[in-house]
Homo-oligomer: A and B are copies of this chain.
């Protein structure tokens, strides 16, 4: 209940932007170069006038063009690393006496100065969102300057700390959510595109739809990641079942199954800071509490790497004892399959199911990991592979990426840990019996 107090308390955040008396001193007159501003911010001046200096740096940075930003990042890498003398001395001290104090000192000495610089830049009003965009720009710069990866290590370290799950807030998104947040849901949906506001409303307003996002207190209007959920009475096999415009709305109280049919990250600048794991489990728990009738939590997921893998298999089946007919069937372009006769289609569907089981259960990258990225995500979260749905997504993209096949991953809260353990330590893909039965006997 005291959240009202907090809610109101946060209104003052918005006002901070107006507060900065004194910024003109730094920006006015002849501009001080950004590198000098950065040094100032790390110096004693930063202690006296941190907010204004940080704002001056960030405003200057936002005015930089692409080469300017590249130069800025190079500066961070070259001039804001650790103090080498201090580091060498710390190493020496550690070698002589490797006790706790020496390790602390060594750890601190090895910390690049840019970490403290980034922490101080966060003093500026709206500092956090600008720093997130700064990392986005850094990714671009890294494409041509791989050495900048060292700078990204520091961004990532800080963001990992700042965007700790403990600071995130799960929030339902619905038709009463502010429009400036909703437009971001439209923009960031990465799996099944949202076609404008009417389509958005169809995903948010009906009684059998839910959407949840994580937010951070410093990024008020910016969802970090969101998941769209459909409430159903059984595990769906195709995206049309869920999003088709003709379906009848199910009263939420009668639903038995929650289907996570789309998960989208929103902030490129937070790449590698993982939230999806927490999101699905938290939403599952919250839904279970709201709707005790729910007993099944599944995804309806794409398999983005399947078609590419299959094209390779059609060329070199390896252990798979494929007949020539099967090989030519698999080589058939996805688009052609629409006009197949029933018998051919049935044979092809069966073959696709078998190949999908093969792909998800046995295919590995050269480094030994499960090949499919979506599979890695859900299996790594402790889900199991529940069902393969041939013909689950007949959109152009679905056909192109996975010959129209979709799969369900199941989150059973009691098994998550065991499943995760099997996957993480033994690289075992936990799958239902029905999926395992699709596997062909090893040739």
Contact = CB atoms under 8 A, between A and B. Distances in A.
A368 to B, nearest CB: 16
Contacts of A425: 44
Contacts of A281: 51
Contact of A21 (B110, B180, B285): B285
Contacts of A133: none
A220 B289 contact: no
Interface stretch (A170-178, A236-244, A313-321, A333-341): A170-178
Given A166-B128, A175-B179, A7 B1 contact: no
A149 interface: yes
A166 B417 contact: no
A278 B49 CA distance: 9
B178 A2 contact: yes
- Scoring A2, A149, A154, A220 by chain B CB atoms within 10 A of each residue's CB, the highest score goes to A2
A221 B10 contact: no
Contacts of A110: 103, 106-107, 110
Contact of A381 (B48, B108, B160, B286): B48
A371 interface: no
Interface in A230-275: none
Nearest to A166: B122
A11 interface: yes
Interface stretch (A12-20, A136-144, A434-442): A12-20
B100 A107 contact: no
A10 B1 contact: no
Interface residues of A, number: 104
Given A10-B6, A110-B110, A424-B47, A221 B165 contact: no
A158 interface: yes
Contacts of A112: 103-104, 107
Contacts of A218: 166-167
A19 B289 contact: yes
Given A122-B164, A179-B197, 8 more contacts: A1-B176, A3-B11, A3-B14, A7-B11, A45-B420, A47-B277, A48-B417, A91-B94
6 contacts: A1-B8, A2-B181, A22-B413, A44-B421, A49-B417, A87-B106
Instruction: List 9 A-B pairs, minimum CB-CB distance, nearest first.
Output: A7-B7, A100-B150, A4-B8, A48-B420, A122-B166, A107-B110, A2-B176, A9-B171, A44-B424
